[in-house]
Each structure stands twice: as structure tokens, then as C-alpha cells.
Amino acid sequence: MFVAVAGKGGTGKTTFVALVAKHLLKVGRGPVLAVDADANANLSQALGVQVPFSIADIMRAVAEERESIPAGMTKDRYVAYRMHEALAEGKDLDLLEMGGPEGPGCYCYVNNLLRGYIKELASNYQYILMDNEAGLEHLSRRTTQNVDVLFILSDATVKGIRSAKRIRELADGLKLGVKRKYLVVNRASPEGIAVLTAEIEGTGLEYAGFIPPDPGVADYDLHAKPLLSLPEDSPAAVAVAGILKELEIV
């Protein structure tokens, strides 16, 4: 199953992906491939996985001729070979990091390679989890394409909910082949959700639930501790597990 996460900046996308991975591993649904498709890569820290280098590192090295492509091998084949080496492998959890663009605003080639490589790897994993960058750009580049589930995260604000609606509208307009789309409101309370009910209903998204504020998550972030080791009774971990179970994703 291919699960992707989108949303405006600051909504907790990386935390959500890490907690989804945590629950999948807890219930024995590995192996899991996590893909950090955000140029501002933070997923490795959240998962406690050390990435040897990113895809963008490879592209920069090739572009600057710091790495020589062997005779008889095309650029695409060489980059694909190096992408295998960029895959950080762990116990039932592997991580691939996209990294920053190889030139000013130059992401298209990297995205094309990333899509092809994920398709190649898909049969090796029960779940693929993709953490996308903030905003809408990744949708227009079609990184988030042909996924089974797209979670659009929002904070508990009208601005965040309306941003989620725009993401849904763009995904629909681009015909990305997303099978299911859900709205999740992060760091929210039942009282806050009640105030936002009309806005939530206006998004055109199925509301999957909310994640409460969690001091444990904030503390782990402060001390750069991997969220995979967050206690099972953590409010955020419990909420994410409940969402996945309710939607029959696990």
C-alpha cells in the first residue's frame, strides 16, 4: 500500500509519517519503505535512521563531474545504481531521502527518477510512506501520484483547513490517480474541531480524525529522539493508530 502525506508547513507531516511507521512496525506490517520527498529533510531524525546520502547528492556529484559515469553506462542507469546505495536499510524499515534540488529550482529530473525507482522497489514492501514538502508544488510535479491513500494534514485553524481544501482541489484537477483522500487535523481538541466543523465539511475531504497535542512528541523533537521509541500510550501515537485502524489501512 502506498500512503502519502501532504499539507501546508508546520502541520506535523513528518511526525505523522513517523507515527504511521511506528504503528505498522508494532503490528508486524513490515517491511516498510519511508520516502522523504521534502527538500528540508527531517524524516531520518524522526525515524532514527541514518541516510548515507540523498538522491540530490548523487545528482549534484554527477552534474559537477565529481563522479565519473562508467563507460557504456547511461546517466539514468548510473543514477539508478547509486540510488540503491542511497537506500538506508534497517530492521523492517528502509528510508530513501530525496534531499535538495541539484540546481536552482531544478527538481523535475530527480522527481522522474524517484517515481521510477519507487515503482521498481514497490514489490519489496508491504507499505510505502511518502513525506512530502509543504504546499502544492509536489502535486504539480506529480511526485504524489497513483497512491492508495493521501492524508492531507491541517492544524486546528481555518487557514489550515482551507489550505487542505486547495490541496484536494489541485490533486483532483491534476487527476493524480489517488484512490482515497482524508483530512487529519493535528494538535487539535474536540472543542476546536467543533468550531471548525463547517470548514472541515467544506473541504470535500473525508474527515479521518484529529491528533491531540502531545508533550511527549514535543520533548522528543526538542532532544532529537526518534519517534519510533515514543511510548505506545502517547496520545499522538494512540490517535494515529486509531485512525489507521478505523480506515482499515492496517
pLDDT in tens, 48-58: 999 999 888 88
β-strand partners of 132? 37
pLDDT at res. 64: 76
Output the nine-digit C-alpha cell for 63: 552534474
With a cut of 50, say whether residue 120 has pLDDT above it.
Answer: yes
The helix (run of H) or strand (run of E) holding residue 153 is strand 149-155
Give residue 102's pLDDT band: very low, low, confident or very high (50, 70, 90).
Answer: very low
CB-side exposure of 31: number of CA atoms within 13 Å? 14
Per the prediction, the chain carries an average pLDDT of: 88
Domains of the chain listed by start with CATH number: 2-246 (3.40.50.300)
Q: Each residue of 60-71: pLDDT tens digit?
A: 888 777 778 888
Strand order in the sheet with 206-211: 88-89, 93-97, 32-37, 127-132, 2-7, 149-155, 180-186, 206-211
> What's the whole-model pTM score?
0.90
| Phi, psi (deg, nearest 5) at residue 121 | -85, -20
Contact in structure between 247 and 208 (CB atoms under 8 Å): yes
With a cut of 90, say whether residue 125 has pLDDT above it.
Answer: yes
Q: Each residue of 143-158: pLDDT tens digit?
A: 556 789 999 999 999 9
